[in-house]
Homo-oligomer: A and B are copies of this chain.
Amino acid sequence: MRLKHPTVEPKFESSEPKEGDVMPLVRIDISKTASRERVRDVGNAVYNAMIAVANVPEYDRFQVVTRHEPDEIIYPEEGYLGIDYTPDLIMIQVTWVGGRSTDVKKKFYQHIADEIYAKQGVRKQDIWISLVDSGREDWSFGNGEMQYAPK
């Protein structure tokens, strides 16, 4: 899906590496009953959180959504760590270049949950996030090229 950000001018004119690039790939696993608007808003929330707190450049947005049947998103009925879940549970997994601080990660989680709740009314308990690190050289954004050399 092509995403339009009509009010923002592109910042990049070249493929020059930049500080702060984290090159995220976001996987979103969500119920088939979620509306198209919800899917869109969840993707927006993750992207906006990256821009706001994780120093991700604008337009570095690559996300894969998979919709699931009820028996394909599995969580504990009893809850876990005092948190209870419903079939609206949204699983978000971000693979990115390591290096974000604990504080940034905390803000990242909060920003995502706050925005999804504000836009879609999803209970914050039902927003689940997992992060995986990789290296700068572990990404090709197209053209068969490694856009960033290792530091």
Residues of A within 8 A of B (CB): 1-5, 10, 12-15, 23, 25, 29, 36, 39-40, 43, 57, 59-83, 85, 87, 91, 93, 95, 102, 105-106, 109-114, 124-135, 137-147, 149-150
Contacts and interface: CB of A to CB of B under 8 A. Distances in A.
A71 B40 CA distance: 8
Interface of A is mostly: mixed
Contact of A80 (B40, B59, B137): B59
A71 B79 contact: no
Contact of A127 (B85, B110, B133, B144): B144
29 contacts: A1-B71, A1-B73, A2-B77, A2-B87, A10-B79, A13-B82, A25-B130, A29-B64, A59-B76, A60-B80, A61-B75, A61-B76, A62-B76, A66-B72, A67-B69, A83-B142, A102-B150, A105-B137, A105-B138, A105-B146, A110-B145, A111-B144, A112-B144, A114-B144, A125-B143, A131-B134, A131-B138, A132-B134, A133-B138
Contact of A141 (B23, B40, B128): B128
A119 to B, nearest CB: 14
Contacts of A79: 10, 59
